[in-house]
Amino acid sequence: MRTPAEALDWLYGTQLTGTKLGLENMRRLSAALGLGERPGPPTFRFVHVAGTNGKGSVCALVDAVLRAHGVRSGLFTSPHLVRFEERIRCGGEPMPAEALLAGLQRLRALTEGWDPTPTFFELTTALALDHFRREGIEWIAWETGLGGRLDATNIVEPVVSVITSLGLDHREYLGNTLTEIAREKAGIVKPGVPALTVPGQAAEAALVLAAAGVQVVEESWNGPLGLRGRHQRPHAALAVAALRAAGFSLDPRHVTEGLAAARWPGRFEVREAGRLVLDGAHNPAAAALLVDLWREEFGTERATVIFAAMRDKDVAGVLAALAPIAARFMTTAARNPRAAEPAELAAAAAVHAPAESVATLAESLPRARQFSERLLLCGSLFLVGEAIALLDGADAPRRSTQ
């Protein structure tokens, strides 16, 4: 592979191995890269973040505060919206194409003939570790991919562990109850390492987290905040408390600057002078927060909701949560092999409001603009990424299932 596009072709090809939870391959990868089986201090200082909703926002807030203090920090998140390189950032900038190519060339040569073959997410995580080490990055906001205990990111030794709001999602991997899911998420907690969470966890989850030694951050941030919505204020307080617990020396002026400057695309992102809102809410709890934020911003207005979802999500629960603000639903398909059929989504949505299906996002946007309401595009981050690319005139996203 001689170009970044060819390198990504190889990486995406590894998705044929599917999703495999477990740490053995990841530890082997890290050791082969010369990072040891458990990367951590003094080379890296990870703020490790797990949760069902809000973990990306907390990572973005941690990164923003660090950069406001003059730190060239690392940010590792998933999935990407438009370009793969968004997942791995140094100082706010996506991984350069030449570094992506060199990193994937190293990983391909390193793992040739391995059995089992590393998965897409294991290779992506290893790519991030290798890039951060080569760039001399010390402080890293480190988001889990799926779960916590057996997630590829959990090979690290963090300086603080953070668990955001927990809900029922990815039940085929994490369990069918909040107790089971909380146990998986709490698997990122390490002995002797501070662990923090937000207030308001469901009782079953709160019991598990308390037993694991996770402390609740009761404060809420009341200053300027770059992320929209009341629900982001506890996230901001959590990000600041996490850095304090990790031993980072905080300057109140830089904290305020960082939180005010924080951005997290695709999360209640307002476009077209307020006419269009993009949000990646993909489970009932996130959809309920989205409805609260919609009302916070637009009062009693209803929306024409452009909606797509993955087959493995609680589609009925998300649609029910969105129903109070939906004048109508227009369902479509995200460009992903796990995408639900638009006609099936329309049938489910019609229980709550008038609904029609449109084959593609490119067709649905002009159709939706014929109605008088504001447009709300939601249900999947994959759909949001496509919308951003379409609106900005960029190439359609190269897609992973993870």
pLDDT class for 166, splitting at 50, 70, 90?
Answer: very high
Same domain, 208 and 330: no
pLDDT of residue 312: 86
In a domain, 22, yes or no: yes
| Cβ atoms within 10 Å, residue 299 | 7
Domain end point (choices 261, 289, 322): 261
Q: What is the CATH number of the domain that holds 309?
A: 3.90.190.20
E-strand ranges in 147-259 read 160-163, 195-197, 215-216
Same domain, 185 and 273: no
In a domain, 401, yes or no: no
pLDDT of residue 171: 57
Same domain, 218 and 276: no
Same domain, 302 and 195: no
Cβ atoms of 128 and 88 within 8 Å: the answer is yes
Same domain, 84 and 136: yes
In a domain, 402, yes or no: no
As for how many domains the chain has, the answer is: 2
pLDDT of residue 1: 85
In a domain, 244, yes or no: yes
pLDDT of residue 204: 94
Q: Is the pLDDT of residue 183 over 60?
A: yes
Q: How far apart are CA 105 and CA 1, in angstroms?
A: 7
Nearest of 377, 254, 240 to residue 308 by alpha carbon? 377
Structure confidence by residue, pLDDT tens digits, 104-114? 999 999 999 99
pLDDT of residue 146: 84
The least confident of 17-31, 216-230, 295-309, 337-351 is 17-31
Residue at 128: amino acid letter: A
Q: Checking DSSP bridges between strand 355-357 and strand 374-378, what pairing results, if any?
A: unpaired
Q: What percent of the chain has pLDDT over 90?
A: 89
Q: How far apart are CA 236 and CA 242, in angstroms?
A: 10
Give the mean pLDDT of 188-206: 96
pLDDT of residue 18: 58
Give the mean pLDDT of 17-30: 83
| Phi then psi dihedrals of residue 86, to 5 deg | -60, -25
E-strand ranges in 121-200 read 139-143, 160-163, 195-197
pLDDT of residue 399: 58
Q: How far apart are CA 382 and CA 384, in angstroms?
A: 5
Domain end point (choices 245, 261, 277): 261
Domain end point (choices 218, 242, 261): 261
Q: Is the pLDDT of residue 19 over 90?
A: no
Q: Is the pLDDT of residue 400 over 60?
A: no
Q: How far apart are CA 212 and CA 208, in angstroms?
A: 6
In a domain, 202, yes or no: yes
Cβ atoms of 241 and 196 within 8 Å: the answer is yes
Same domain, 38 and 151: yes
CA atoms within 13 A on the CB side of 385: 22
| Phi then psi dihedrals of residue 240, to 5 deg | -65, -45
Same domain, 83 and 115: yes
Q: Is the pLDDT of residue 17 over 70?
A: no
In a domain, 207, yes or no: yes
Cβ atoms of 310 and 303 within 8 Å: the answer is no
Q: In what order do the strands lie in the sheet with 215-216?
A: 93-94, 88-90, 74-76, 139-143, 45-50, 160-163, 195-197, 215-216
Q: Is the pLDDT of residue 370 over 80?
A: yes
The least confident of 202-211, 239-248, 389-398 is 389-398
pLDDT of residue 314: 92
- Residue 387 is part of which domain span? 269-392
Q: Of residues 72 and 22, which shows the higher confidence score?
A: 72
Same domain, 169 and 213: yes
Same domain, 140 and 276: no
Question: What DSSP string runs through 4-34?
Answer: HHHHHHHHHHGGGG-----SHHHHHHHHHTT
Same domain, 248 and 282: no
CA atoms within 13 A on the CB side of 143: 28
pLDDT of residue 36: 94
Same domain, 254 and 278: no
The CA distances from residue 65 to 92, 132, 240, 259, 383, in Å, are 11, 18, 8, 6, 29
Structure confidence by residue, pLDDT tens digits, 32-81? 999 999 999 999 999 999 999 999 999 999 999 999 999 999 999 999 99
pLDDT of residue 173: 59
As given in the structure block, the two tokens for residue 182 are 């909380």
In a domain, 206, yes or no: yes
Cβ atoms of 285 and 181 within 8 Å: the answer is no
pLDDT class for 268, splitting at 50, 70, 90?
Answer: very high
pLDDT of residue 337: 84
As given in the structure block, the two tokens for residue 204 are 């079953």
DSSP label at residue 165 = B
Q: What percent of the chain has pLDDT over 70?
A: 96
Q: What is the CATH number of the domain that holds 26?
A: 3.40.1190.10
Same domain, 180 and 303: no
Q: In what order do the strands lie in the sheet with 269-271?
A: 269-271, 276-278, 374-378, 303-307, 326-331, 355-357
In a domain, 290, yes or no: yes
